[in-house]
């Protein structure tokens, strides 16, 4: 079941205050209260009202984003390995390490050199 948090953000010179105003079972109900509160705020008010949907007991979205970012990075690294951008090395202790292949080292060095020339010209 999705719940809707009605919050107000009040901005000041040196800070922003976020204050929850209520939690509602429907977006329509939260919107009704948002409209009522909006009419009571002064026109020159430096505040913003928000309705944020969320599902109780669900994993926080920041964790979901972090996990999906890790999965994307892992997939990208695997793809680079399959395209032979990296070479797998076996260390003396039996662990694996990966190094940039000679072909791509030259490409990367050229790109770094070229970008450092651009930085000098700016």
Mean pLDDT of 73-97: 89
CB 52 within 8 A of CB 8: no
- Sorting pLDDT into bands at 50, 70 and 90, what band is 107? confident
Measured between alpha carbons, how far is 20 from 49 in angstroms, rounded to an integer?
10
Overall size of the chain counted in residues: 122
Per-residue pLDDT for 41 more than 70?
yes
Give the residue-averaged pLDDT of 52-77. Answer: 88
């Amino acid at each position: 079941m999705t719940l809707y948090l009605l919050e107000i953000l009040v901005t000041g010179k040196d800070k922003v205050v976020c204050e929850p105003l209520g939690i509602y079972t429907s977006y329509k109900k939260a919107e009704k209260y948002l409209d009522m509160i909006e009419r009571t705020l002064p026109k020159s008010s430096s505040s913003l009202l928000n309705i944020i949907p969320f599902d109780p007991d669900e994993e926080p979205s920041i964790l979901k984003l972090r996990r999906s970012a890790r999965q994307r990075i892992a997939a990208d690294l695997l793809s680079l390995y399959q395209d032979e951008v990296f070479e797998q090395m076996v260390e003396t202790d039996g662990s694996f390490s990966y190094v940039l292949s000679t072909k791509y080292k030259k490409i990367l060095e050229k790109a770094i050199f070229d970008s450092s020339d651009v930085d000098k010209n700016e």
